[in-house]
Amino acid sequence: MREFELEILDFVRGHMRNGFLDTVMPVITMCGNLGIFWIATALVISAKAKYRKCSITMIIGLLLGVLIGNFAVKNMIHRDRPCWINEIQDMLISNPQDFSFPSGHTLSSFCAATILYYYDKRLGIPSFGIALLIAFSRIYLYVHFPTDIVGGAIIGILIACLAISGTNKFLFKEQKDNKKTE
């Protein structure tokens, strides 16, 4: 499987690389660094009362993503990155030091996009577009295998469902109970 994935990465590298994408992809991937774009989104939307639950759920989901994806799963799987296996001389970003599976950029992006979609489809649909761009940037930059991306997306969506369910059941329960008595 790893050889097939390296062939995919080499195909992208050999057939899609160009000056424009070489400039844009590091910027896109930077949006996923530490979930900054998604944290900023959560903070911006929290300014409107109707998005506060969404914002809180996003922050909880992103925190769960770091704990589950970056601290637990990455360190259990210990998967080498493709750029460690095939050393690339002209890397467009610095060589990551943590393990490859799952892609944390993809996990946080799909987690946030799923939560945004749950609360407001008009925000969620473009968020999935951004999540896909961030995920693809990780392949383009040769720092993740395709299965790291797929795994990150699946785990991110599952964590989002857990965050939504948990916040609705435990954190926002009191607000639901108050509405029933009115």
CATH number, domain containing residue 105: 1.10.606.20
Take residue 99 and report the two structure tokens written for it: 């393990």
Q: Once rounded to an integer, what is the mean pLDDT over residues 5-16?
A: 93
Residue 164 forms part of a structural domain = yes
Q: Once rounded to an integer, what is the mean pLDDT over residues 124-148?
A: 97
- Output the pTM of the full model: 0.91
Residue 154 forms part of a structural domain = yes
How many domains does the chain divide into? 1
What does the pLDDT read at residue 175? 55
What does the pLDDT read at residue 56? 97
The two counts, helices (H) then strands (E), for the chain are 10, 0
Q: Once rounded to an integer, what is the mean pLDDT over residues 127-149?
A: 97
Buried b (16+ CB within 10 A) or exposed e, 132-169: bbbbbbbbbbbbbbbbbbebbbebbbbbbeebbeebee
Residue 52 forms part of a structural domain = yes
Residue 65 forms part of a structural domain = yes
Residue 126 forms part of a structural domain = yes
Residue 60 forms part of a structural domain = yes
Residue 182 forms part of a structural domain = no
Contact 74, 104 (CB under 8 A): yes
Which residue range(s) make up the domain with 121?
2-172
Residue 22 forms part of a structural domain = yes
174 pLDDT exceeds 70? no
